Structure 1
Amino acid sequence: MKERNLYLSHFYFIGQFILLSSFYAKVLKGKKLISFIKNILILVIILLIGYYSLYPKDYFKWNVFEISITSVPLLVYSFLFFTQRIEIKTSRSFIYFNSGFFVYLLSSTLLFTLGNIGLGNLELRPIKLFVWKVNSILYIIYQILVFLEWYKNFRKKESSELKSSINT
């Protein structure tokens, strides 16, 4: 019998949501905005605990509710990050990361929420394969932008810190 590993996707989506909510709470400015992010984080976790308590069998299925409820707030945080960085012209940290993240998360959220549509329809199979390939390409672009972020903003800091620790 073939075992399904869809339950692992829940760790990915929830883990991504928790880690990136924490990240955006650190890099975004404004007490109200940080409070908003923390409240959304708590609310989403409570909603997911309640959902899986009521529907424990859904833990072993592809869950569009979970994907939507964890991805949409991250897209909002990412958009808010862009608006703050436009206003603050001097700080460009994490702009490459956020750009790649926004494009990738937007496309993957659409892909994952539409994932169950047309499972048995063979006519839609080529379209689904094309969408998955586009998502893979966007993920590679996201990884390139993460590398650029590190290269432009953090590589120099790490090497200078290493040199100063060697000299002391």
Structure 2
Amino acid sequence: MSLFYSKILKGKRLVAVIQKILILIIILVIGYYSLYPKDYYKWNVFEIAITSVPLLVYSFLFFTQKIETKTGNSYIYFISGFFIYLLSSTLLFTLGNIGLGDSTVKPLKQLVWKINSILYLIYQILVFIEWYKNFRKPQSIKNNISINT
């Protein structure tokens, strides 16, 4: 996703920063799992945070650039859905270890998971709208009419 954002965001400095952050994140994740290989199979809040927070920042930067330039609507539905879903899932996953053994927290956690599922569905709908409005191949009426001769 960082490469995607480096293509759609404007500004050479910003693109350079995104690419440097991407390399830093890759190094951090590889380094972390090299030092703690058993954590690969566990719930890892560190990984969730360092991979999600930059994407949320890039989404916010995309929105600010769209407001400033007011040009085109490409990717606006996709980024909107992605931002909403990623924000909610990041909060959900980073708070995932809280109250693991507490039975009073279980109904709340189930509600949060259901809300996350609904937000994921909204994200998918927005991806479809983005495709439909900006990327589908329009069909002409002439192509749909067959003339028997």
**Structure 1 length as normaliser, TM-score?**
0.81
Q: What are the superposed Cα offsets for residues 107-137 of structure 1, whole Å, 9 maximum, x if unpaired?
A: 0000000111111100100000000000000
The answer to whether the aligner puts 1:65 opposite 2:46 as a matched pair is yes
Which aligned pairs between 1:13-162 and structure 2 lie closer than 5 A? 20-155=1-136, 158-159=137-138
Q: Distance in 1 between matches of 2:69 and 2:27?
A: 34
Q: How far has the Cα of 1:90 moved from its partner? A: 2.3
Q: Distance in 1 between matches of 2:46 and 2:70?
A: 37
Q: Which residue of 2 aligns with 1:8?
A: none
Q: Percent identity?
A: 75
Aligned length: 140
* Larger mean Cα displacement after TM superposition, 58-67 or 87-96: 87-96
Question: What is the DSSP-based 3-state SS (H/G/I as helix, E as strand, rest coil) of the residue aligned with 1:116?
Answer: coil
CA-atom RMSD, angstroms? 1.2
Question: What is the DSSP-based 3-state SS (H/G/I as helix, E as strand, rest coil) of the residue aligned with 2:104?
Answer: helix
Larger helix proportion, structure 1 or 2? Answer: 1
Q: What are the superposed Cα offsets for residues 55-111 of structure 1, whole Å, 9 maximum, x if unpaired?
A: 111011010000000000000000000011111212110000000010100000000
Q: Amino acid of the residue matched to residue 85 of structure 1?
A: K
Gaps of 5+ in 2: 143-149
Q: Amino acid of the residue matched to residue 110 of structure 2?
A: L
Q: Distance in 1 between matches of 2:125 and 2:63?
A: 19
Gaps of 5+ in 1: 1-19, 164-168
**Structure 2 length as normaliser, TM-score?**
0.91
